[in-house]
Structure 1
Amino acid sequence: MADPITSRSRRGVTAPAAENARGRTLPRWHYLVALMTGAANTLSFAPTPHGGWLELAIFAFFFFWLTRTTGWKSAALTGGAFGFGNYVTGVWWLYVSMHDYGGMAAPLAGAAVVLFSLYLAVYPALAAGVWSFCAGHTRASTAVADDIPFSPTWHGALAFASAWAIGEWLRGTVFTGFPWLASGYAQVDGPFAGFAPVAGVYGVGWMLALAAALIVQALTAALRAREARGAAMERASHARRDAAARPAVSSAAVPAGVAIALIAAGLLLPLVQWTVPANAPLTVRLLQGDVKQEMKFEEAGMRAAIDQYQQMITSKPADLIVTPETAIPVLAQQLPAPFASAVRRFSDSTGSAILFGAIGGTITPEGQVTDYTNSLFGVTPGTRDIYRYDKHHLVPFGEFVPWGFRWFVNLMSIPLGDFFRGPPVQKPFIVHNQPVAVDICYEDIFGEEIARTIRESETPAGVLVNSTNLAWFGDTIALDQHLQIARMRSLETGRPMLRATNTGTTAAIDSNGKVLGRLAPYTIGSLDVTVQGTSGSTPYVTSGNNTVLAVSLFLLAFGFAFGPGITRRRRAAASNDSAQ
C-alpha cells in the first residue's frame, strides 16, 4: 500500500525535505567560530584606537554567521557563544580584584569570571533567539524545503538591531545591571558616535547592528545577483537577462546605500551643537595619589594617604580640586583635625572649592555608626556648609551583598560591603556659579541615571565629575575601558567629564568626548586643566533610553507578526526561480 500524501507534501514540500528542515544541525566548529568572533570583538574597545570601525566589521560577520543558523536554538547558541567570547576576554580583570586583592583562591576566582561571563552571555543569546523569531527565520523554515539559505531581509535587519539593543538594555538593568562592554562604547571614536546625544549608548549599538545587517544584506544580494546573471546567460535571451538583473542590482544597492547613509550621518552629527557654553570656564586640579590598595585600609596606610592628599590639595589653588573615591578612608566625622583645618584655611584663602572622597555615616546617641555611605564631601570657600553626595548605584559584592551570596563574599578579604544608598537624584555642587554633578566610580557606566540627574535637577549641572578607585583591578584594560565609558557620558549629555582616580586613568574630557589631558596610570600627580561648562539638553538627556526602547519594541512586534509570512514568500519565490 502506498504511503499517504501528507498535508506538507500537498503544499509542495517532500517528506525528505521536511525531515532535513527539522533535523539539519550545525557543526560544533560553527559555535567555536562565533566564540572566537566575540573574543576578537574585545579588541574593538579601548585601548584600541578607532576600534569602532573594527567593531562594524566584526558585527557584520557575526550577523552573517547568524544567518547560517537553522532555527532559534542554534541562533541563541551562536549569540551566546559570541557573547561569552566577548565577555570572558573583556572583563577578565575581575579575576585581579577577587584573587590579587580579595584573596580568593585562583581556581575559584577563575571559575567566578567564567560563570559571570556565562551569565552575561545569556543576553546576546536571548537577542539572537528573538531575532530568529522576529525575522521569520525560525517559523518559516518548514514551509518550503530548507536547502535555500536564509536570506537577510529589511525586517530581519531591523529585528536584529532591535533585539540587540533590547538585550543590551536588559543586561544593563537586570539585577542592578552590568552594561560594561555595551557595543556602543567602542563607537566613541567610531562611525556612529554622532548618535550618542540622540539615543545614548544603546541607540549607538542599535545603529551599529542595523548597519552591519544591511551590509550583509547588500553583499548577499550582490552575490546572488551574480549567480542569477550567470544562470540567466545559460537559459535566457539578452532582454530577459537585463530584466532579471535590474531588481537584483537594486536589492543590493538599496541596503548598501542605507548603510552608507547611516555611517555618514554618524560622522556628520557631531557637527550639531546640542548644548552651549555656560558660565565662566573653571580651572580644575584632578588628583591621583596612587595609594596601594593593600595599604589603603591599614592604619599606617590610612595616615599616609591622608597626609599625602592634604599636601596635594593645598599645594596649588584652582577653582575646583577633586580627589579620588575614598581618598580619605575614614568616617567624615572622624577626619583628623590637622587635615580638616588645613583644607578649610586653604579653601577660604585661595577661593578653591574642594571635593574629597570619604566614608559617610550616622552616629547614634549611643555612639554607634550606622548607615555607612560611599560619599564625596565638598568644601566651598567662604561658607561652613559642607556639600555631601552619597553613592546611589552600589557595586554588588563590593558595596552590598546580594541575597544568598554572603558565602561568596566570605571567600574574599575585601573590607567593603553593605553600604547605605543615597537618593537617585541629588543636588549639584556649586563651584563659582557652575553646577557640578558628581558620581562615584561604577555609577558613570549608567548613562540613563546621569541623564536623569541632569533632567530632574532644579539647577541642571554643566560639568560632570567622576571620582573613582580602580586599584582593585590592577594595571589592566579596565582602566582604559572605564575612560572610554566616561567619554560616552560626555557625548550623551553634551557636558565635560572630569575623572579623579586613585591609580588611573585620571583625565579631563570636553563636551564633545575628546580627552583634554590625562595622567599616566600608577603615577602620583595632579592634572591641571581648564574646562568650559555647558547648558541645554541633548535629545538623550530629554528622553533617556525611552526612544530606542520604544522603537525596538515596535519593530520586534512588527517582525514577530509579519516576518514569517514575508520570509515564506521570499523562500517560495526563490524556490520557483531555481526550479525554472
Structure 2
Amino acid sequence: MTRTTSVQKLAFISTRAISYSHLLRAFLFGLLLPLSFAPFHLPGAAILSLAFFYAQLGKEQNQQAFWDGLFLGLGYFGLGISWVFVSIHEYGHLNSVLAALITLCFLIYLSLFPALMALIFKKLAIPRLTFLSCLLFSALWTLTEYLRSTFLSGFPWLLLGFGQFDAPSKYLLPVIGVYGVGFLTCFAATILATSTQLNGLRRSLCLIAFVGLLLSPSLLKYKNWAQKDSTSMSVGVIQANLSMRDKWDENLFWQLLQRYQQDTEKLLGTQLIVMPESAIPLPPSYIGDFLTDIHVKAKQAGSAVMLGIPKPTTIDENYYFNALISLGNAKGFYLKQHLVPFGEYIPKPFQQISNWLAIPDANLKPGGTDQTLIKIGRHAMATLICYELAYGDLLRHQLPRAEWIVSISDDGWFGHSLAMYQQQQMAQVRSLQTARYQIIANNDGLSSVVNTRGEITASLPAFSAGILKTTLFPMTGMTPWVYFGDLPSLLFAVLIVFIYMVYRMRHYKVNH
C-alpha cells in the first residue's frame, strides 16, 4: 500500500512538472527576445523566439496560452529592462527587497500585454487557416505593443521593431515605422514556425516567403528620403560623466560648472555646442553669472550653446520643467513633454501609496504640446529629452520643419546596465525613420552623432568624460513615416483582425 502511494505521488509530481514545463519554455523564449536589441545586436533572436512561441501556442488551451504569454513577458522584460531595479534601488533609495518587489510588479504589468495577445489569439484562431493565423498573430502582437505604448501614459521601450535595426528590415523603418517592422518580424517568425509543420511544396513556399520577407527590404538600402544642405555644421558635445550623487555635492558642483566652462571655451567657434540633460541641476536663478558668461562668449564666437537645466514654472516656483535652453547664437527653449512615471512624477492613482512608502513627491511638470522649435539662424531643430526618444509622435510632430535632431539624456539613473545601449539604438532608429542627423548628448555616455542612415559617425565611450567634435548636415524633406506616421501600420493590423473575425463568424455559422 505504501509503495503504491509513493508511486502515485511520484506520478502526480511528474504530471505537475510536465504541466508547468510549457511556462518554463515560454520564459526561456522570452529571454531570447532582448538579445535582438543593443548591446547584443542579434535580430534573429527575436524571430526564433516568436517562432518557438507561436508553435507552442498552437498546442495550448486558452488558459494555458494566457500564462504562456505572461511568462514570455517575464523573460522578455525581466532581462530587457532589468535596469529599472537599479534606478529604484540606487537612486530611489529603497532597500533591495522593496525595490525588487516594485520591479516585479512592473514586470508583471508589462507581461500582461503579451498574455492578452496570446489569449485573444487562441480564442480567435482557427487551426486550419494557416496563413490567416500567421497574420492574426502578427496583427495582435502589433496592436498590443501599441496598447502598451499608450495605456496609462505608455511604456514604448523594447518595441519589436527597434530590435531589427541590425537586420535588412530596418530599411522599411522610414516607410512603415517601428510598428510596421515589428509586424513583419512577427509574420516572418510565424511563417518559419508554420514551415516546420508542412511538407513538400507548401514547406518550400513558406521558406521562400520567409527569406523574401527578411531580404526584400534591402531594395530600399540606397533610397534617399531627404535632401542634404550644401553647407555642413560643426558640432561639439560635452560629456561630463558626473554621477547623480556627485551632482548634488556642493564642492563637486562648482567643479562641474568650471569643467563645463572650460570645455565650452575649448569649443568656442563651433557652430553648435550641446551639453546633456540636467547638465546643471540647479535653476538659472542660482547660476545667473555662469549662464551670462557662457552666452556672451558664445555670441562673440558665433557659437550656439544648448544645455539641460530645471526651469521654474511661471505659476508655482516650487515646480519645474525639465528644460533644454539655448544660449549664444541659438534662440528658444524646449520643455520636456513626456515625463517618466515614478521618476519625474507620481501618477495620481499611486500618490497615496508613494506617501505611505515615504517616496518624495516629484516636483516636475510637463511642457506644452505646441512649442516653438529652437533655431540657429534660419535652421530649426527637433529636440527630445531622454525617455521621449521612445515616443515617435513627439519627434514626428516637429517635422519636417526641423532639419536635424538634438536629444539629451542622463543615463546615470540606470548605472552600468543595458539602458544606455538600448537608448542609443532607439536614437539610431529615429534618425533612419526621419532621414535626419542626430546629436546625442548624454551625461555618462553614449554621446554621439548619428547620420541619416542611422549610422554612428562619432561617439564617446561610456562612463568617461570628454569632448566630441564633428559635423552634420541640415536636411529637408520627409520620409513616408514622417508624413503618415504609424497610422497605416496600425490600421492594417486592425483590418486583419476585423477580416479574421468576420471569417470566423461565417465559419461558425456554417458549422452550426
TM-score (norm 2): 0.91
Matches within 5 A, 1:274-289: 274-278=225-229, 280-289=231-240
| Residue equivalent to 2:282 | 330
Conserved? CA contact 2:297–2:328, under 8 Å: no
Q: Which moved more, 1:528-537 or 1:115-124?
A: 528-537
| Residue equivalent to 1:242 | none
Cα distance in 2 for partners of 1:103, 1:371 equals 22
Conserved? CA contact 1:306–1:327, under 8 Å: no
| Residue equivalent to 1:190 | 167
Aligned: 1:474 with 2:474:
no
Cα distance in 1 for partners of 2:265, 2:137 equals 54
Q: Which amino acid aligns with 1:67?
A: G
Q: Offset of 1:448 from its aligned partner?
A: 2.1
| Residue equivalent to 1:575 | none
Matches within 5 A, 1:381-392: 381=329, 386-392=331-337
Q: Which amino acid aligns with 1:315?
A: K
Conserved? CA contact 1:319–1:432, under 8 Å: no
Which of 486, 491, 496 aligns to 1:555? It is 496
Ranges in structure 1 where 5+ consecutive residues have no aligned partner: 1-24, 137-149, 223-248, 572-580
Task: Count residues with an aligned counterpart.
Answer: 494
Conserved? CA contact 1:284–1:528, under 8 Å: yes
| Residue equivalent to 2:260 | 309
| Residue equivalent to 1:153 | 130
| Residue equivalent to 2:350 | 405
Q: Which amino acid aligns with 1:378?
A: S
Conserved? CA contact 1:102–1:413, under 8 Å: no
Aligned: 1:101 with 2:49:
no
| Residue equivalent to 2:153 | 176
Matches within 5 A, 1:65-76: 65-70=56-61, 72-76=62-66
Aligned: 1:205 with 2:182:
yes
SS at match of 1:271: coil
Q: Which moved more, 1:514-523 or 1:273-282?
A: 273-282
The structure-2 alpha-carbon separation of the partners of 1:87 and 1:362, relative to structure 1 and needing over 3 Å to count, comes to closer
Q: Which amino acid aligns with 1:27?
A: S
C-alpha RMSD of the superposition: 2.3
Conserved? CA contact 1:332–1:358, under 8 Å: yes
Aligned: 1:525 with 2:466:
yes
Q: Offset of 1:433 from its aligned partner?
A: 3.0
Q: Offset of 1:565 from its aligned partner?
A: 6.0
Deviations 1:444-497 (A, max 9, x none): 111122112215xxxx11111111101011011111111111111112111112
| Residue equivalent to 1:44 | 36
Cα distance in 1 for partners of 2:435, 2:360 equals 37
| Residue equivalent to 1:61 | 52
Conserved? CA contact 2:277–2:385, under 8 Å: yes
Q: Offset of 1:558 from its aligned partner?
A: 0.9
Deviations 1:316-368 (A, max 9, x none): 2311110000101111233241x12321232122211110111111467xxx6
| Residue equivalent to 1:507 | 448
Conserved? CA contact 1:103–1:412, under 8 Å: no
Cα distance in 2 for partners of 1:273, 1:155 equals 34
Cα distance in 2 for partners of 1:75, 1:283 equals 54
Conserved? CA contact 1:279–1:433, under 8 Å: no
Cα distance in 1 for partners of 2:399, 2:357 equals 37
Q: Offset of 1:261 from its aligned partner?
A: 1.8
SS at match of 2:267: coil
Matches within 5 A, 1:97-496: 97-136=87-126, 150=127, 153-222=130-199, 249-278=200-229, 280-317=231-268, 318-337=270-289, 339-362=290-313, 369-381=317-329, 386-406=331-351, 409=354, 417-454=362-399, 460-496=401-437
Cα distance in 2 for partners of 1:467, 1:410 equals 31
Q: Offset of 1:128 from its aligned partner?
A: 1.5
Q: Which amino acid aligns with 2:247?
A: K
Conserved? CA contact 1:389–1:438, under 8 Å: yes
Cα distance in 2 for partners of 1:82, 1:415 equals 34
Deviations 1:277-328 (A, max 9, x none): 1352111111110111112134334323222212211212311110000101
How many percent identity over aligned positions? 28
Cα distance in 2 for partners of 1:257, 1:134 equals 27
SS at match of 1:330: coil
Q: Which moved more, 1:297-306 or 1:76-85?
A: 297-306
| Residue equivalent to 2:13 | none
| Residue equivalent to 1:30 | 22
The structure-2 alpha-carbon separation of the partners of 1:280 and 1:60, relative to structure 1 and needing over 3 Å to count, comes to same
Ranges in structure 2 where 5+ consecutive residues have no aligned partner: 1-16
